[in-house]
């Protein structure tokens, strides 16, 4: 278990505004799981050939994806964008 947290960047309204409640719940669940990984979150998702930087992770079986930025210095995973195909 780590002391990492997660947050929306720049805000929850900007990133998740207008998404169905079930999608928002899944985004927040995944963000919590990424925060539990702590520093290892820099290697999760795409791109597969390097670690760090803005990363992507599939959402609800490929019906969308989240873009997130793990920042070890802040001990935080920032959810930056959600793409939902519906």
Q: Please give the chain's pLDDT, 86 residues, in tens.
A: 679 999 999 999 999 999 999 999 999 999 999 999 999 999 999 998 899 899 999 999 989 999 999 999 999 999 999 999 98
In a domain, 44, yes or no: yes
In a domain, 7, yes or no: yes
Separation of alpha carbons 44 and 73, rounded Å: 17
Q: Which residues pair with 74 in a beta bridge?
A: none
Its domain, for residue 20, covers: 1-56
In a domain, 74, yes or no: no
In a domain, 9, yes or no: yes
Q: Which residues pair with 68 in a beta bridge?
A: 55, 79
In a domain, 29, yes or no: yes
**pTM assigned to the model:** 0.91
In a domain, 22, yes or no: yes
In a domain, 70, yes or no: no
Domain count, the chain: 1
In a domain, 86, yes or no: no
């Amino acid at each position: 278990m780590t002391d990492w947290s997660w947050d929306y960047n720049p805000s929850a309204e900007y990133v998740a505004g207008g998404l169905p409640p079930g999608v928002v719940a899944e985004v927040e669940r995944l963000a919590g799981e990424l925060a539990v990984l702590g520093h290892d979150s820099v290697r999760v998702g795409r791109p597969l050939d390097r670690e760090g930087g803005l990363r992507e992770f599939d959402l609800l079986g490929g019906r969308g994806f989240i873009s997130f930025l793990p920042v070890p210095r802040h001990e935080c995973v920032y959810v930056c964008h959600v793409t939902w195909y519906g």
